Structure 1
Amino acid sequence: MMRVRTVLGDIDPAALGVTDSHDHLFFAAPALAGQELDDPAAAEAELGAFRGLGGAAVAQWTPFGLGRMAGELPALSRAAGMHLVAATGLHQAAHYAPELLERLRSDGLAEFFTAELAEGMLVGDDPDGPRGTARAGMIKVAGMFHGLDGHAREVMAAAARAHHATGAPIGIHHEMGTAAVDVLTLLHGELEVPVTSILLGHLNRFPDPGLHRELAASGAFLAFDGPSRAHHATDWRLLDCLADLASAGYGGQILIGGDNVVASSRASTGGGPGLPYLLRVLRPRIAAALGEAAADAFFVANPSRAFAADWR
C-alpha cells in the first residue's frame, strides 16, 4: 500500500494536501555561517503563515549532518498542525568533516540510511547520539557541477540500496541545476531505481526547456524550488519553463518548493519571501497562466505521488 512517511507516522497520500515539495525548516552549513536555520519558534511561525494560506505539508530536504534538528520535528509538526516529511542522506563531501564521512562509510552508508528510514532518525548530528522515533520519509543526495564525483556516486549507490530495502523516494540536489542526466543514468540506468521514485531538484537553476523535456520524458519528478533569497536568480524564467513542460504533457511530474536555506529568507522573522510566498504569490500566478487544474497538480496531486512509497 502506498503511504507517505511523515515524522508522525505514515499517512494516506490523499491526506498530504497542499505541499511545499522542497524546503528547509532547519539547516546549517559552513558556507552559510551566521545564517543558520536553527530556531524552532521561527520555524513554527513560518509553518503557521504557510498553513494560514492553505498549506498542509512541507518536505524538509535537509540531510543528516547539516543541522536538520530531527528531534524537534515531531513536536513542531504537532504544534503547527502540518505534515512534515524529513530526509536522511548526505550532501556533497565539502559539507562534512572527513573523519565523519569515514566513520559513516565504515559503518555502512546504505545501512545508515535504511535505519533512519525504517527505525528512526538520529536526533542530532552525532552518529553516536540517540535515535528518535521519527522516521525519515525520503533520501537526499547531491550531484556536482555538470558531473558526479566519487563521493556523489558512493552516496547515490548507498541511497539506491536503501531505496530497494525500503521503497523510499530519492531527492537530488543538482548543483546549479546541472548533471541531471548523469544522475538518471546512474540511479535509474545502472542502479535500477524506478524513475517514479526519483525527484530531480533545482531544475529552475538551469532553465533549459529542451533539457527539462528530456528529463521529463524519463518519467521522473521535476522539482522547481528557487524563490528564496539565496536561489531566486532564475525566477523570471520559471513560468515559461512550467508552461513549456505542461504544454508537452508533463504537468503531472512537476513539484514546487521554496528551498529557503538561510534565516534571512523567512517571512516571519527575516526579510522573506519564505514559505508563504509559494501560496501568496506563486500559486496564483501559476493558476492565472496555466489554470487551476495545473496549480492543483503542482501543489497537491503530484507531491502526493512523489513522496509516496510502498514501504517495506
Structure 2
Amino acid sequence: MQYEPTLPADDDMDVAPGGVRTVLGDLAPEDLGICDAHDHLFFRSPRLPGEELVDVSAARAELAAFRSLGGGSVVQWTPYGLGRQAAHLPGLSRETGVRIVAATGLHQAVHYDEATLDGLRGRLADVFVTELTEGIGGSGVRAGLIKVAGGFHALDAHARWTMTAAAEAHHATGAPIAVHLELGTAALDVLDLLCGTLEVAPHRVILGHLNRFPDLMTQRQAASYGCHLAFDGPSRAHHAMDWRLPDALRALADAGFGDRLLLGGDTTTAAARSVDGGPGMPYLLRRLRPRLEAAVGADLMTRILTVNPGRAYGAEWA
C-alpha cells in the first residue's frame, strides 16, 4: 500500500504571502515552479581554496541542466562578500528560463577577513536593507532574502550580531531570513533568538541543513515554532542524510508540518557541480525526487517543490 501523508488543508495554512523578490523583479509565489530552495551559482570563500564557483558559463550550464529536468527556480543563498556575482544573475535567468532569487546577509566569521568585518560594524542592518531595496553592489539587482549562520550547537557573538542585524532588516523590509545551521545544530537556539528575543514572525524564518543533524525530535520542535525547514544537499560520508530523509519528511508531514518543508541542492564547490562530474542541481530532480515520491507520495513532493518555496520566500515587501 502506498504511503499517504497527512497534509494540511489549504485553509489551515498561513495566509499566502506576497511576492518573491527575484533578480528580474517580484514574482507571484505560485509562479516559481519547481524550486531548488537552497543552492549556489557563485560562491567564493577562503575556507574552500581551489573550489570557487566563479565560472559564469558553468553556472549557465548548471541552470540549463536543472531546467531540462523541469526546474523552474533556484534560490541562491550566497551572502555578502562571498562572490555573489549579482550583475550576472539577470542575464543567466533570462538565458535559461530559470528564476533566480539572490541573497544579502553575512556568513560565519571564518569566511571573512577582519578588515571586511570591521568595515561592517555599526552599519550591517543598513547594508542588508540597501541590498534588499536598492540593489547589490550598484548592480540594481535586489536581494530576496537575508542569509545568516549559526554555530556548532551554539550561537557565538558573531552569530548574534548578524542575526540581530537580519532581524532589524526584516522588520524594515519584510524579507525572509534563511539560516545556515552548522552541521544542522542549534536550531532551537536560533529560533529562541530570532523569533523570541528579536520578534521575527516564525513563518519568515527558513532553517537550513536540518538533515545534517537528523534528530527527529529537534526537527519537530523547530517545525512547531512555525518556521520552514530546509533539507538541502546530497549525503556526504559523515552526514547520513539521504537515507534518513524519507523518515524525517514522513514524520513531519504526519505531525501536520507538510507545508513547512523545503528541498535544495546546496552546491558549494566546483567539484560538486553536475557539469564537473558531481551531483549538482539536477540531483534534486534526477535522483532525490523519485526516491522521495516513492517514500512519501507524489502529492507531498509536489507541495515541497512548488508550493512551499513560494510560501517561504514570498513577502509583503515594505
Into which bin does the TM-score normalised by the smaller protein fall? over 0.9
Stretches of structure 2 that go unaligned for 5 or more consecutive residues are 1-16
For the aligned residue pairs, the C-alpha RMSD in angstroms reads 1.3
TM-score relative to the length of structure 1 = 0.94
Q: Percent identity?
A: 59
Counterpart-to-counterpart distance in 1, 2:28 and 2:259: 19
Q: In structure 1, what is the equivalent of residue 132 of structure 2? A: 117
Counterpart-to-counterpart distance in 1, 2:238 and 2:55: 21
Q: In structure 1, what is the equivalent of residue 229 of structure 2? A: 222
Q: In structure 2, what is the equivalent of residue 142 of structure 1? A: 149
Q: In structure 1, what is the equivalent of residue 193 of structure 2? A: 186
Query: Given residue 202 of structure 2, which amino acid in structure 1 is its aligned partner?
Result: V
Determine if the alignment matches structure 1 residue 294 to structure 2 residue 300.
Answer: yes
Contact 1:228 1:272 survives alignment (8 Å): no
- Aligned with residue 61 of structure 1, among 73, 77, 91: 77
Counterpart-to-counterpart distance in 1, 2:279 and 2:222: 29
Query: Given residue 310 of structure 1, which amino acid in structure 2 is its aligned partner?
Result: E
Counterpart-to-counterpart distance in 1, 2:41 and 2:32: 18
Determine if the alignment matches structure 1 residue 72 to structure 2 residue 78.
Answer: no
Query: Given residue 263 of structure 2, which amino acid in structure 1 is its aligned partner?
Result: I
- 1:230–1:58 CA distance, 2 compared to 1 (3 A): farther
Q: In structure 2, what is the equivalent of residue 102 of structure 1? A: 118
TM-score relative to the length of structure 2 = 0.93
Count of residues paired in the alignment: 302
Deviations 1:24-68, CA, capped at 9 Å, x for gaps = 000111111001111111111111011111100000000011111
Q: In structure 1, what is the equivalent of residue 3 of structure 2? A: none
Counterpart-to-counterpart distance in 2, 1:42 and 1:263: 9
Determine if the alignment matches structure 1 residue 153 to structure 2 residue 169.
Answer: no
Deviations 1:65-119, CA, capped at 9 Å, x for gaps = 111111111111111111100000000111111111111114x101000000000
Contact 1:226 1:232 survives alignment (8 Å): no
Counterpart-to-counterpart distance in 2, 1:109 and 1:3: 25
Q: How does 1:164-183 map to 2 (within 5 A)?
A: 164-183=171-190
- Aligned with residue 89 of structure 1, among 105, 115, 128: 105
- 1:141–1:181 CA distance, 2 compared to 1 (3 A): same
Contact 2:235 2:242 survives alignment (8 Å): no
The structural deviation recorded for 1:232 is 5.7
Determine if the alignment matches structure 1 residue 133 to structure 2 residue 148.
Answer: no
Contact 2:178 2:205 survives alignment (8 Å): yes
Counterpart-to-counterpart distance in 1, 2:118 and 2:221: 36
Deviations 1:177-206, CA, capped at 9 Å, x for gaps = 001101000000011100010000000000
Counterpart-to-counterpart distance in 2, 1:253 and 1:230: 27
Query: Given residue 277 of structure 2, which amino acid in structure 1 is its aligned partner?
Result: G
- 1:176–1:164 CA distance, 2 compared to 1 (3 A): same
Contact 1:231 1:259 survives alignment (8 Å): no
The structural deviation recorded for 1:229 is 6.1
Stretches of structure 1 that go unaligned for 5 or more consecutive residues are 123-130
Deviations 1:115-165, CA, capped at 9 Å, x for gaps = 00000011xxxxxxxx11110000000000010111110110000000000
The structural deviation recorded for 1:234 is 2.2
